[in-house]
Amino acid sequence: MIAPDSQDKNLLIERVTAFLSYFELVFDNDWWFTKSTICDDPEFRELFIAKNGTFLNPFPGEFFYGGKSDNWANRTQLLDKYRELRAFLISEGLYEAENPNMF
């Protein structure tokens, strides 16, 4: 468990804040782009998410750091912050990964 006044608490707050910032950018501020990218033209969507991919794991078997012609920087950063937060929570024993081989 994280001590109330520890450096780990500050790291947790930093990671949660960064994740929430990008989450809001992708699913609120950029919603028009997010929605059109994941819902419209399948060929365009597959530049960002493979047929067998998900939003969090867009190209299974590959470490995602941007799409083939990715101009969706906020989503790339969201996934990066998600992975950082997830790894930190696992390392601190605050989250038990259901599938540790997902990434």
What is the per-residue pLDDT across 64-97, written as a single tens digit (0 to 9) for each?
665 544 567 788 889 899 999 999 988 888 888 7
Burial class (CB in 10 A: 0-12, 13-18, 19+), 59: middle
**For the segment 10-60, what is each residue's pLDDT rounded down to a tens digit?**
899 999 999 999 999 999 998 988 888 888 788 888 888 888 988 888 888
pTM for this predicted structure: 0.77
Q: Compute the C-alpha angle 92/98/103, nearest 5°.
A: 85
Whole-number pLDDT of residue 26:
92
For residue 71, give both structure tokens.
Answer: 């101009």
Whole-number pLDDT of residue 69:
47
For residue 19, CA distances in Å to 39, 43, 44, 54, 75 come to 23, 28, 26, 18, 11
Whole-number pLDDT of residue 103:
45
| Other Cβ atoms closer than 10 A to 64 | 21
